[in-house]
Amino acid sequence: MSAGAVKAPPGASRFVVAKASDIAEGGRLLVEVGGREVGIYRLNGRFHALLNRCPHLGGPLCKGGVVSEIYAPVPGDIRHDASRLFVTCPWHNWEFDVTTGQSYWSDRGPRARLFPVGVESGEKVAEELSTGRAERVPGPYKAETVPVAVEDDYIVLSMRPTRPA
Ligand code: FES
C-alpha cells in the first residue's frame, strides 16, 4: 500500500502521514515526504520507519518482505523468535533489523536508514494545527492532506534519522 506524496516546507521535520488505522498489524505503507520514500511498518504492535533505499546497492528495500528470526543454538535445535523482525531487500535479499537497521547478510555492511515514527492523538495534532506549531501542506493530490479528528490517533514521522543502537 502506498500513500500520496507530502511536500516538505522549508524547516519542517515532522509530518502527519496517515491515520494509525491506515496500517493494519503486519502491514506497511509507503509514503513520500520531501522527495524521499519511506516505508512505515506496523509490526508486533509497534511502528517502524525505514528509507525505501537499500544501503547495499540502492534497491527498493521496503518493497521486500518481512521475516522473523529462525536460529539454532546447537545443531538440530531450531528455534523461532517472532519478536525479532527483518525487512528483506527484493534485489539481493539482504536482511535489515527493523529496530536498528543492522544488516545480517554482512554484519559489517551499512545499516538501513531509520526514522523516528510514533502515534500521536488527534487531539494533540489538532492543537498543534490550531496554535500554528504545525501546518497542513496543500498539494495537488487528495492524499497529501490528512483530515484530523480528535477521536483518532495519527502516525507522525520525523525525517531526522535515528542514531544506530
Ligand atoms: S540492493 Fe538491496 S540487497 Fe542489494
53-82: average pLDDT: 95
Lowest mean pLDDT among 37-41, 121-125, 153-157: 153-157
pLDDT at position 46 over 50: yes
Instruction: Establish whether residue 62 lines the binding site of ligand 1, counting it when its CB lies within 6 angstroms of any ligand atom.
Output: no
* Mean pLDDT for the stretch of residues 130-147: 61
Cα distance between residue 119 and residue 156, in whole Å: 6
Question: What's the start-to-end Cα distance of the chain, in Å?
Answer: 29
pLDDT band, residue 66 (cuts 50/70/90): very high
**Tens-place pLDDT, residues 100-117:** 999 877 667 789 999 999
Residue from 52, 54, 86, 102 whose mutation best tests the ligand 1 pocket (most atoms within 8 A of CB):
54
Question: What is the distance in A from the centroid of ligand 1 to the CA of 121?
Answer: 36
CB atoms within 10 A of CB 84: 16
Angle at the Cα of 68 (from 52 to 157), degrees rounded to 5?
A: 35
Residue-wise DSSP of 86-112:
EEE-TTT--EEETTT--BSSSTTSPPP
C-alpha cell at 72: 539454532
pLDDT of 139 reads 47
In the chain, domain spans = 2-71+79-158
CATH for 2-71+79-158, among 3.40.50.720, 2.102.10.10, 3.40.1350.10, 3.90.1150.10? 2.102.10.10
Q: What is the whole-number distance in angstroms between the Cα of residue 6 and the centre of ligand 1?
A: 26
pLDDT at 140 over 60: no
Q: Mean pLDDT across the stretch 126-144?
A: 65
Mutate to test the pocket of ligand 1, among 88, 89, 102 (most ligand atoms within 8 A of CB): 89
